[in-house]
Amino acid sequence: MNVNFAERAHNHNWKLDPIVRSLLDTDFYKLLMLQFIWKNFLHLHVTSEVVNRTIKVRLAERVGAAALVEQMEHVRGLRFRRSEMVWLAGNTFYGTRSIFAPEFLEWLERDFRLSEYEVTEHEGQLILRFSGLWTEVTMWEIYALAIVSELKTRSALAELSELELDVLYARAKTRLWDKIERLRGVKDLHLSDFGTRRRHSFLWQEYAVEALRAGLGNRLSGTSNTALAYKHDLEAMGTNAHELPMALAAMAASDDELRASQYKVLELWQKSYGGALLVMLPDTFGTTQFLEGAPDWVADWTGQRVDSKDPLVAGDEYIAWLMRRGRDARTKLLIASDGLDVEDIVRLHQYFHGRIRFSAGWGTLLTNDFRGCHPRGEDTLEPISLVCKLMTVEGRPAVKLSDNSHKSTGPAEEIARYRRVFGSVEVEGSAVVV
C-alpha cells in the first residue's frame, strides 16, 4: 500500500477522505451480533453512550462537535453496497458458508438504519448518546469510536507542517516494522488485527494490516475489520461482546433470572452459530463465578476470549476448569485482546504454547501507537481509552462488573446489587491504558 500519509494529511479534505467509508468498516462481531439481535430482540429499545476513560484528555477541546456531527451524518447516509451484500451472502466465515440468513441480509440492505444520537459537552468531555431500537443502536459503537478517535488524530495533525508530518510517519513506520520484526521470529504464532475502534485512521489501519501480512504471512489469522477483510481477501475475525449478557441481565425479572442470564445468552447464541464462533466471553460479571456456575455443556464450546483479567491468570483458570470438566485444553482456543503489545503477545504465546491454542487480538497498539513519534515531543497523538457501552435496556440500567473494577459500568447501587447476586468480588486491576 503506497500512501503518502504526510501529503494526505497536509492537503486534507474530509469530503474526499471520510473517516468511515463503508458500513462494512466495522468489527465483524458487530454484524454477527446484529443478526443475533435481529433474530431474538427485534423490538427492544436501548441506549448507549461513548465514554472517554482517559479523563485527563479533554476531548471537547480537541474534537469539535460540529465536525463530529458532520462525520456522523455522513455515516447515517451510507447504505450497504450490492457487492458487499453478495460477499456477505456468499463468502465462507469461520469455515461456514451462508452464515448470514437470506432474510437477515434482505433486511440489512432494505431496512437497516442507524438510530438518532445526541452530542453534548460536559466538563471538557464530549458526550455522545444513542437511543432507539437495539438493531439501530448497536452498530453505532465501532463507527462512533473510529470517528472520535480519528477526529482527535486529525486535530493533532493539522498543527504540523508537511515536513513534520513526514518525520512523524517515518518514525511510526519504523516502530511498526520493529514490532513486526520481533514477531517474525516467534514460531507457531497466531494473531489478528483487532484495532478498528481506537485506530489512528482508516488508512493507517490498512497500512498496518498490510505490513503485518507482508511480515508474518499466514501467521496473521485475519482482521476484525470487515471492510479490510472484504477488500484484501482476509479472514474476518470476531465473535461476540459484553453487550449481549449486559442486555439479557438488564431484562431479568428476579435475582435467579439475573444469575442465569449469562448462560441464557450462550444458549441463544449457539442456536444461531456453531464451531469456531462458540467462543465465550465470561468476564462481564466476573470470570471466576461464571466458570464455577457454568453448565457442563459450556465446556464443549470452542474457546474463551480474555478481556479484563490478567491473561496469564485467566488462561490458567480456564485450563484448570477444562481439566476438571474432563476436556483436553490443547483442543481449545484462548484469545487475549486487552491492550496487548508485542512483548505481551510474545510472553503469552510462550507461556501457553503446547497447553492450549493461543491467539492474540492486537488492537490499539497496532493501529494507533504514535507514542514518542511527535516531532515536537507532544503527546497529542497518544491513544486514549474510548469505549461505547450499553446504558439502558427498556429503561432499565445495564451493568458490567468486569474482572477489573476500572472497567465497571452502571449506577453504583446496581453494581452493588449485581456483585451480591453474582458473588463477584471487586478487583482493582491494572489501570486502563487503551
What are 204-221's pLDDT values in tens digits?
A: 999 999 999 999 999 999
| Beta strands per DSSP E along 174-235 | 191-193, 220-223
Residue 2 banded pLDDT, cuts 50, 70, 90: confident
Residue 13 banded pLDDT, cuts 50, 70, 90: low
pLDDT recorded at residue 405: 83
Residue 15 banded pLDDT, cuts 50, 70, 90: low
Q: Please report the sign of the dihedral spanned by the C-alpha atoms of residue 332, residue 337, residue 341, residue 344.
A: negative
pLDDT recorded at residue 348: 98
Q: 124-163: per-residue pLDDT in tens?
A: 999 999 999 999 999 999 999 999 999 999 999 999 999 9
140 secondary structure, DSSP code: H
Q: 272-286: per-residue pLDDT in tens?
A: 999 999 999 999 999
Beta-carbon contacts of residue 25 (< 8 Å; ≥ 6 apart): 142, 143, 146, 196, 202, 225, 226, 227
Q: 232-281: per-residue pLDDT in tens?
A: 999 999 999 999 999 999 999 999 999 999 999 999 999 999 999 999 99
Q: Which residue has the higher pLDDT, 405 or 394?
A: 394
Distance CA 392, CA 134 (A): 10
88 pLDDT above the threshold of 60 = yes
CB 29 within 8 A of CB 363: no
Nearest to 200 by CA among 233, 165, 229, 231: 165
Distance of CA 61 to the CA centre of its chain: 25
Distance CA 342, CA 200 (A): 18
- Residue 53 C-beta-side C-alpha neighbours within 13 Å: 17
Q: Residue 245: what residue type?
A: P
CB 64 within 8 A of CB 158: no
Residue 424 banded pLDDT, cuts 50, 70, 90: confident
Q: Residue 192: what residue type?
A: S
pLDDT recorded at residue 434: 61
Class of the domain covering 5-371+386-422: alpha beta
DSSP three-state, residue 314: helix
Q: 277-326: per-residue pLDDT in tens?
A: 999 999 999 999 999 999 999 999 999 999 999 999 999 999 999 999 99
pLDDT recorded at residue 3: 87
Q: Write down the residue that cell numbers 466538563 correspond to.
A: 123
Distance CA 59, CA 407 (A): 19
Q: 325-349: per-residue pLDDT in tens?
A: 999 999 999 999 999 999 999 999 9
Assessment of whether the complete model's pTM goes beyond 0.85: yes
pLDDT recorded at residue 8: 86
Q: What is the maximum alpha-carbon separation in the chain?
A: 62
pLDDT recorded at residue 246: 98
Q: Write down the residue that cell numbers 451484500 correspond to.
A: 85
Give phi and psi for 121, each to the nearest 5.
-130, 145
Q: Please report the sign of the dihedral spanned by the C-alpha atoms of residue 336, residue 340, residue 341, residue 344.
A: negative
Taking all residues of the chain, what is their mean pLDDT, rounded to a whole number? Answer: 95
Residue 55 banded pLDDT, cuts 50, 70, 90: very high
14 pLDDT above the threshold of 80 = no
Strands 125-133 and 45-52: antiparallel
Q: 367-387: per-residue pLDDT in tens?
A: 999 999 999 999 999 999 999
Nearest to 301 by CA among 280, 324, 325, 329: 280
51 pLDDT above the threshold of 80 = yes
Give phi and psi for 160, each to the nearest 5.
-105, 150
404 pLDDT above the threshold of 90 = no
201 pLDDT above the threshold of 80 = yes
